[in-house]
Chains A and B, each alone.
Chain A
């Protein structure tokens, strides 16, 4: 009788483990379609809108499959026990508004895939359009000495290096974490021989680190922080909690950091060299005014351009 009791106890306890979800699950495996029951609602309740996309990204990542090889219906896919644990952990993190790109540890940018890291700014799709524009303007140049100000994960420089073999890039970045990540991404993409990043914070009269103080470049690109401080209250948690505010804060008018870049460009661009900036929606006309009023004879406003959402956000400036 005791044997009967222990046997029934064993069976009931097994029934309570998450392995026994359905009759069609093989030992220790659970169909993905069952594992995700209830999660779309939890994501929506947490304030996340594109739930299908988030689920597909996380499932692809857990199963170590490419996103475009996973069917939208997730049919015939299964998690083992450790994958299921990962899956649920990642979804809890997503419900806590951790950025999807930080959860899956990588993100695509143009034709490259970059590693992501906590606190480091995640490259935005508009910046792809910005880099495409710069590449278009430089693809026929013989050799380009590029400087990137505030490279973050290294997205812009590395995409340029990947696309144009004649470009060599130096970058400065104030965040230690981002500096390390950018160097790591360069190594992962095998571009480390054409990319060096220096951990340095720009300030008045010390625009560049000591080792670069006499260097001049053909091209400077930057996507400096341009969000107005007063706009921080409207930012989503993914941005304001998990990304570095230093990567966003442009001061009261959004151009505090851009102004430092203007001064840096005066000192470190060859004559005829160009400065390309990605800024916010209202900034291009302001930049044109600043060039005319303050930088006559030194910098010249060439043109502004729209991003793919038809917003005027990119500017091209020339060193006179």
Chain B
């Protein structure tokens, strides 16, 4: 079951995908094998099930090949935190394995490029405005 969830997670979550037609290189994006993950989530000792009503929601993941660990308790329900933790692990793995080629880094570069382009255009506009004002003043003389 979780294998299906993991397969879904091979594609990065929509939040990470750019709204623009930005071309992100996913060729290096890592895949998560359940057999590589050590998962710990407390449910108390003993048989569990009907006999117990402990409400721990915290999930710990350890990626065995790289020893990267994730702790997740964002949601009220442990089952949601299991999914969230795997998403976070994938992002961390991507950064660890691919460094500047990770999806997060690619997005950052694109955002920076966009903001420098925006600044350049703004400066150009200011320049044009200034020149026009200068011309108006000299014309008025």
Contacts and interface: CB of A to CB of B under 8 A. Distances in A.
A126 B53 contact: no
B51 A125 contact: no
A109 B80 CA distance: 10
Give the interface size bracket for B toward A.
20 to 34
Interface string A93-117: 0000001110000001110000000
The DSSP consensus for interface residues of chain A is mixed
Nearest to B56: A50
The DSSP consensus for interface residues of chain B is loop
Nearest to A97: B53
A92 interface: no
Interface string B34-72: 000000010100111111111111100000000000000
B76 A68 contact: yes
Nearest to A238: B53
B49 A53 contact: no
A280 interface: yes
B131 interface: no
Nearest to A311: B48
Q: Which 7 A-B pairs have the closest CB atoms?
A: A67-B76, A108-B77, A238-B53, A281-B47, A68-B74, A132-B1, A128-B79
Interface of B: 1, 4, 41, 43, 46-58, 73-80, 82
Interface of A: 49-50, 53-54, 57, 67-68, 99-101, 108-110, 121-122, 124-126, 128-129, 132-133, 136, 223, 225-227, 231, 234-236, 238-239, 243, 247-248, 278, 280-281, 307-309, 311, 313
